Amino acid sequence: MKQQATTLFYQGDMQAAIPLLQQLYTANHSHYYYQYLVQAYVMTKEYTKAQKLIKQHHKDKNYKALFDMAYVAKAKGPWLV
């Protein structure tokens, strides 16, 4: 399943990759799958899901969570008016 998920991701088929990545991440909460899943959510403009995943993954709210949230915010679009 891991190879299939990453292959679909790199082929740009996020709709097929996301469910597989969700299963893999849920099974072991690996940072490896987390990164793919956040990127897949951003690429499909599912920003709320990306932000929720970031908050769940970084429960200690360390600096990495801030970088990931900034990545999503930048992808979402201009927020300064």
How high does pLDDT run on average in the chain?
89
pLDDT the model gives residue 79 = 61
- Whether 68 has a pLDDT exceeding 90, the answer reads no
- Whether 42 has a pLDDT exceeding 90, the answer reads yes
Quote the pTM value: 0.82
Mean pLDDT confidence for 1-25: 96
C-beta of residue 3 within 8 angstroms of C-beta of residue 20: no
Task: Report the alpha-carbon distance of residue 55 to residue 59 in Å, rounded.
Answer: 6
Architecture of domain 2-75: Alpha Horseshoe (1.25)
Burial 30-45 (b: 16+ CB within 10 A, else e): eeebbebbbbbbbeee
pLDDT the model gives residue 61 = 64
In this prediction, residue 60 has a pLDDT band, given cuts at 50, 70 and 90, of: low
Domain residue ranges of the chain, discontinuous segments joined by +: 2-75
C-beta of residue 50 within 8 angstroms of C-beta of residue 65: no
